[in-house]
Amino acid sequence: MNDLSRLSFNQMTSGKCGLGEVVDACVRRGVPWIGPWRHAMGDAPAEAGRLIREAGLWVSSLCRGGMFPGASAEERRRRIEDNLRAIDEAAAVGTDLLVLVNGPAPGRDIDGARQMVVDGIGEIVGYAEQCGVRLGVEPLHPMFAADRSVVVTMGEANGIAERFDSPWVGVVVDVYHVWWDPTVYMEIARAGKRIFAFHVSDWIVPTPDILMGRGMMGDGVIEIRRLRKAVEAAGYEGPIEVEIFNEALWARPVDEVVGLVAERFLEFV
């Protein structure tokens, strides 16, 4: 990239810091966007949004909704209610995008769990439209199928989004989760204007940990720039979120982390 105008710092890239610390570091380092997480806002998403706006930043997305599958109708209903709250929180913090991480199967019926994801989105999409909040279905790497998401490919995410005749349901392209897929470029083109977000990090070899071992851009094997050009060719022009779960990175001062993210963004994204 030639400048930082599209760079968004996902809060979990400095996962042990409070929202205020991250906002201050982004301001110092000239990063214009931030991607907060729900737990960081507590019960005060409007105050979090005010903090971000008064610092001169924009909110690229809110993480996360989803987790729709449940073993009982009561559990599934509670998850729908939580997603409705998440939509309210996204609107309150000042973003039009809620990222959906769709949850594992409650038992061994993975096909049934995938249908629960579709049914869950169907339950909330009308309210999301009323609130002006888009729903981004994020496929995760297949290694997360058992404990985090039954939606594991861009093809699946596209198929879910296409079941809704609505501009309010789309997909999130996270390079960490999709880089390996031999159909990824075809599926990016298929998604087109349904691409609501683009997340970057890198895949380190050897991988130290599937969840907490994401790498800084340039430290791994992902063709990040090629993927960025593909989503842009498909029509995506929005912010690019750097989202890195890594304990070693979390142990470093947040200002240092934001500075490194900015440097690597310019060099490798």
Does residue 143 form part of some domain?
Answer: yes
Q: How many CA atoms lie within 13 A of 175 on its CB side?
A: 31
Do residues 217 and 244 make contact, with C-beta atoms less than 8 angstroms apart?
no
Cβ–Cβ < 8 Å for 32, 57: yes
232 belongs to a structural domain: no
Asked whether residue 214 is domain-assigned, the answer is yes
Q: Is residue 86 part of a domain?
A: yes
Predicted confidence at residue 165, as pLDDT, reads 87
Residue 2 lies in a domain: no
The domain total for the chain is: 1
Query: Residue 213 maps to which CATH number?
Result: 3.20.20.150
**Neighbour count for residue 176 (Cβ, 10 Å):** 22
**Ranges in the chain, pLDDT < 70:** none
Helices of type H across the chain: 19-29, 38-41, 45-54, 73-93, 110-131, 154-162, 175-178, 184-191, 224-233, 247-250, 254-268
- Domain of residue 149, residue span: 7-226+237-268
Q: How far apart are CA 36 and CA 47, in angstroms?
A: 13
Instruction: Say if 171 falls within a structural domain.
Output: yes
Q: Which of 155, 170, 39 shows the shortest CA–CA distance to 99?
A: 170
How far apart (Å, rounded) are the C-alpha atoms in residues 246 and 243? 10
Residue 231 covered by a domain: no
Q: Are 136 and 164 in contact (CB under 8 A)?
A: no
Q: Quick check: is 179 in a domain?
A: yes
